[in-house]
Structure 1
């Protein structure tokens, strides 16, 4: 049974898509004495799955070699309490072969829920569908591998799914910011994605300073999302895991109706993890529909009275259930995650700035960590070189597909400058698709090229 929540929260919110790595939570601490034995007093040793191993052996698990882990811990101590969004270079061994722009596109997997929301005549059920769509991404975001940070000017395109055209672009390097636009016959989705972090030693808190707008085309309804903050636990010592406790608020800016869902914090040995409960409220803040479920499995709904109790003669009904995922997948990708990472969802004449073409991503996908690390370093060096070149010329980076607006969005974690989709990508795609010489991209011979200056691009070949 859902526990009645009080609606609240102001300002625009970004989205998980705004989240710089896999997300995370507030967690349950198992034993300070174990941390003392390891020599790292105050660090969390947690088993969110409630495994049978003792806490000390759990603390020793992870993907780090002992020497690398200890050296990295010594280096990172000076950053405790700081925002480490773009100030720390991380080793490739904790990465997955996907960029943050691609992770933003993973939200599109269950886009059929938005088609249903657009076609729905009941304004409260419309919010049930839309809220379930936003929740659906959390299953993919429980992955603990870190996606690559996009290079300034990098893009990601996606088609061949639900009639959607999706374009994302890295619009700022300091601070790291991405923008994305997705559209089909039923909805328009726009996001400016930015995060702020706080490094706590063995964990990182992530604050999504993003702005999300979802427009349902039939009635022109505009929805705004404020997600909960998240936390990555056991970053260096122990088994890394992720959670996002707190409120998620989805507001219909047209009518004042809203959804307030509470993500339960993970308790001792995993108690309460994944659970989501809350209500759809009308504009007078009266509960109309209760929602309950688990963000990694399903969401249910049921009409309720003004006290939040189920209406007589009604029953819980399922609105969303997670699709099956590949077994023993190295990076815990979903089937849709693999599609996002493949050229199956790429349009003809793919932009040379597309994430799929990154040589570090491709090397990691093939399991060559040494080459991936070298290619990542090379890309970052070229990004710094281009910045110097741009400063010497007195130029500013100008995104291709998004424009910086004068709007400042207030979020619970700070103000955000907003980038708006400028429509040029639709014109570009129409011109390409209408040309006589369409063809596909030669993946083997096409160099990744997000650079503003061609001499920087030439240096990458």
Structure 2
């Protein structure tokens, strides 16, 4: 799949409870080739085309005191562009100003606007690169909408790239451009007629936050106005100026720009800049070049105490209802501030070191600025603390439970509103403190059923999850020895099961089989994305994503050094747990049978589980060995009850005698759904001289065995691409290998963490855990001789225990799994399930109850 380089991808930042529109202009008979990649968090995505409207006039005029009266302005609602879009209108009174539209209601009302839906892609999943193409015969303006309105507290970052090519021209004459950064950091942007750029003040979306400095860039060729944080290159918004309604107020240098989907309230830092921007906006309407930006100057405006009086009225009423010392104290603070009647102007440094007030007293009617809870929030910026961010930003590494209005947001809002030192803002916050507490309590009461508070030992208990982030060291010491030659060994053991033959420790890698199978969980987000997403139509996307997960673990063998050794064979009763708070799962495993060797696993996550009991065998066949794994993998979607099952593929280890050793899966894998769907993955066959074959293709089929339209293809060593009718989605990419992996057994960074004991495990895991194997510890540190000695001792002790049980007529009883197959059925053919209840692994871990475990070392 063609992909834009990282340097050409533009980073967009979308606030919580907000959306961002990226406008693309395309000529007739052209193709828009676009790519989107949400970073860390998912986001909704769709794009629209502006309906053709030939009624717009091309007149324009300069703003002056005799301009068109503000009463002629259209009403503040989504509407078809009219003649007023072709000029900059004037407003003078506060009640002429458009109130900010609700972002959520705006999106839901797009059908009433002059935009028509081209394609709604719904939720784009985090870290998946989506690539699509759209051909337009008519051309026009297209709005790519990134919708984050469903997230209450978390801002999102998205990488975006669009490439427009006119396809009706000969190849050598094709019009081609990247609709990317509105300016190039290395380009000369001082040329007249190209770009107008300067700092302006932008009104924040949320109340009580006033205006903030932002860097605006007007691209006159494309007619797009974009803005960024000062000294930041993340695009935070874009407007199509030519199609927007623009109103200006010369008395306070303010602009209102209404695209029909969103409204921006801006303010020039001085009168010269204001005139330059007016001229530029009018020039775009007339398709002419603008005048240049001039330097800023001071022009402060006095403040008005109107809002302070209203705060005092509100606080006076609150004093009667809640006669607390805190309210009385804040009331006095606001009274003192009101007595100053204007106070000092809080100037700040401008973009060029100049000081510029952005205060005004005539923008809004204060009596209209009350929330439903009775707390007054001032839109007048003279009383608002000058914060750097437009949102109450939350670290993107926080929880994905964005639909819950969490206490962190309420606490931060409460804290900000309660700061009395910032004058009226603090007064308004204190006046609303009780209401905020009441809001929080009422919210928790009203939404209690929507917030999961799992009980210990209950169905939703994932102890020890959730857990604070844990630092993990993924690196391991370099290997200082090479495995011995297999030539003589193979001659003596052709066709034999390798697991039944004692081999020197230098044939091993520093993991056990339990840890090796735990690598199946390196990419759990593939399953999480599949079960938590809603896919439209009967296209097979869900089962194809599950199939991608089933294949993803093969990538652990992509480094050819990984295939020269085998993991340590666990002792009977040996266990291994893996808790990854960053990936949201917990895993427990146990060797439950020695002959045949069977390793049982259970995986828990919030919305899905996985069970498998696998029995691997490896046989030598001349120049290659064959690895087969008996046992069924069962993955259960807890949200729908749907179950998915599959078997591990057969893998050939080639060139084990001479040449470059590598692993190659062959044949097919079938992933079945309990709802009748199935996905069939077929590995490409390599030629005799072609080396390792890495290609794989997955097709989906419905209940009637009809092939579904979506497919997955790619290389099991690199990435998988989900191909739909209109897009390609990169749904999986192989993780990183260790630095200098050639000297470190070919390990991935995930494998490098498997033998580490972190604060999650320290003092909690049972003494039978693989991490405590003394031979494995010695081997990882590079002491092969000591590891060989310890390995022989552990195996001899196991033989002694087995002989004692035979003599006493007893059998080994697994501690954490039970066999649920038919009586007399071989251990590697029936199912194994995790023991639940009081004696479950996780309850015993919590209580440190390890009685009855075999002393293995």
Q: Provide TM-score, normalisation by structure 1.
A: 0.73
Distance 1:138 1:376 in 2: 28
8 Å CA contact 1:101, 1:169 repeated in 2: yes
1:79 alignment partner, one of 493, 500, 505:
493
8 Å CA contact 1:179, 1:419 repeated in 2: yes
* Alignment correspondent of 2:806: 391
Distance 2:721 2:487 in 1: 43
8 Å CA contact 2:650, 2:666 repeated in 1: yes
* Alignment correspondent of 1:59: none
Give me the CA root mean square deviation: 2.9
8 Å CA contact 2:612, 2:632 repeated in 1: yes
Q: CA deviation at 1:108?
A: 1.4
* Alignment correspondent of 1:114: 527
* Alignment correspondent of 2:749: 335
* Alignment correspondent of 1:154: 574
Q: 1:432–1:421: structure 2 CA closer, same or farther, 3 Å change rule? A: closer
2:684 alignment partner, one of 241, 258, 264:
264
Distance 2:542 2:839 in 1: 28
Q: 1:138–1:347: structure 2 CA closer, same or farther, 3 Å change rule? A: farther
Output aligned runs, 1:175-324, within 5 Å.
Answer: 175-253=596-674, 255-270=675-690, 273-288=693-708, 289-303=710-724, 311=725, 314-324=726-736
Tell me which of the two structures has the higher relative contact order, counting C-alpha pairs closer than 8 angstroms and 6 or more residues apart: 1
Q: CA deviation at 1:129?
A: 1.9
**What SS does the corresponding residue of 1:134 show, helix, strand or coil?**
helix
8 Å CA contact 1:243, 1:265 repeated in 2: no
Q: 1:90–1:265: structure 2 CA closer, same or farther, 3 Å change rule? A: farther
Output aligned runs, 1:408-447, within 5 Å.
Answer: 416-423=829-836, 427-430=840-843, 432-433=845-846
**What SS does the corresponding residue of 1:244 show, helix, strand or coil?**
strand
**What SS does the corresponding residue of 2:600 show, helix, strand or coil?**
strand
**What SS does the corresponding residue of 1:353 show, helix, strand or coil?**
coil
8 Å CA contact 2:494, 2:621 repeated in 1: yes
Q: CA deviation at 1:425?
A: 8.4
* Alignment correspondent of 1:356: 771
Distance 2:572 2:828 in 1: 22
**CA deviations over 1:121-148 (Å, ceiling 9, x no partner):** 3372211221111221111134213110
Unpaired segments ≥5 residues, structure 1: 2-61, 304-310, 442-448
* Alignment correspondent of 1:444: none
Distance 2:803 2:661 in 1: 37
1:102 aligns with 2:523: no
Q: CA deviation at 1:348?
A: 4.3
1:326 alignment partner, one of 716, 735, 738:
738
1:140 aligns with 2:552: no
Q: CA deviation at 1:79?
A: 2.6
Q: CA deviation at 1:197?
A: 3.7
Distance 1:293 1:284 in 2: 27
Deviant stretches of 4+, over 6 Å: none
Q: CA deviation at 1:120?
A: 2.4
Distance 1:226 1:280 in 2: 17
8 Å CA contact 2:835, 2:841 repeated in 1: no
8 Å CA contact 2:838, 2:844 repeated in 1: no
Distance 1:90 1:147 in 2: 11
Q: CA deviation at 1:75?
A: 4.4
Q: CA deviation at 1:237?
A: 3.4
2:588 alignment partner, one of 167, 182, 191:
167
Q: CA deviation at 1:320?
A: 0.9
Q: CA deviation at 1:272?
A: 6.5
8 Å CA contact 1:401, 1:425 repeated in 2: no
**CA deviations over 1:322-352 (Å, ceiling 9, x no partner):** 1222221212221111222211363642110
Q: 1:203–1:268: structure 2 CA closer, same or farther, 3 Å change rule? A: closer
Output aligned runs, 1:11-50, within 5 Å.
Answer: none
Distance 2:844 2:554 in 1: 36
Distance 1:424 1:373 in 2: 40
8 Å CA contact 2:765, 2:845 repeated in 1: no
8 Å CA contact 1:64, 1:236 repeated in 2: no
Distance 2:852 2:515 in 1: 15
Q: CA deviation at 1:450?
A: 9.9
What is the total number of aligned residue pairs between the two structures?
A: 366
